Amino acid sequence: MAHKRSHNQKTRGTYALVLHLPRGATIRVGKLGAFRFPRGYYIYVGSALNGLTARLARHLRPDKKRFWHIDHFLERAQVEEIWTHQGDGRLECLWARAALALPRAKIIAPRFGASDCKCPTHLIYFGAAMPKGQRGEEGRRGHEKAEGVEKA
């Protein structure tokens, strides 16, 4: 008899969305207020402890009610890559701090995505290009592991 995965079983994990904002825009981000986001590349880091697949699918859907800070930004930005790590631990703060330590990393919207922690932000801006060695192959949508992070 073949083993079937229960629909109730949810994969937990941490994810990073590599985003491109093609044009600068002023975006109202819920109660955080309005921010002027310059065009360029961003990384948004989050966790999904109640279902990684469902959370990522929601982020990719264009027709959704705005609930999280990232929902407002995704109305204008394009998802270029998704990096994931499956596991019970909340690694989003560690990943956000690591991204902030990269060259050219800037905070545009303080506390974005970080209302439940003490991080300065979970959305990091990098300008016209991601730091060298931080992007996968252009347009790649394959599935590979690199240093505990799966690129999907």
pLDDT tens per residue, range 29-69: 999 999 999 999 999 999 998 899 999 999 999 888 888 89
What 3-state DSSP class applies to 63? coil
Closest CA to 150 of 69, 59, 53, 74: 53
pLDDT at 115 over 50: yes
Q: What is the pTM assigned to this prediction?
A: 0.82
Instruction: Decide if 56 is inside a domain.
Output: yes
Residue 108 has what DSSP assignment? Answer: S
**Residue 17 resides in a domain:** yes
Is 1 part of a structural domain of the chain?
no
Query: Which ranges of 61-115 would DSSP assign to H, the alpha helix?
Result: 69-74, 92-100
pLDDT tens digits for range 57-104: 999 998 888 888 999 999 999 999 999 999 998 899 999 999 999 999
6 assigned to some structural domain: no
Mean pLDDT confidence for 119-144? 68
Note whether residue 52 is domain-resident: yes
Q: What's the half-sphere exposure (Cβ side, CA atoms, 13 Å) at 131?
A: 14
In this prediction, residue 130 carries a pLDDT of: 84
Q: Is 5 a member of any domain? A: no
Give the pLDDT confidence score for residue 90 in this predicted structure: 87
Task: Examine residue 23 and state whether it is found in any structural domain, yes or no.
Answer: yes
The count of other CB atoms within 10 Å of the CB of residue 93 is 17
Q: What are phi and psi of 38, to 5 degrees?
A: -70, 155
Instruction: State residue 64's pLDDT score.
Output: 86
* Beta strand pairing call for 13-21 and 78-86: antiparallel
pLDDT at 27 over 70: yes
The average confidence (pLDDT) of the chain is 84
- Assess if residue 105 is contained within a domain: yes
Question: Above 60 in pLDDT, residue 149?
Answer: no
pLDDT over 70 at 2, yes or no: no
Domain of residue 34 covers: 13-130+146-151
* Count of structural domains within the chain: 1
Residue 14 · residue 41 · CB < 8 Å: no
Return the structure tokens found at 47. Answer: 């966790």
Q: CA of 61: how far to CAs of 54, 55, 88, in Å?
A: 11, 10, 25
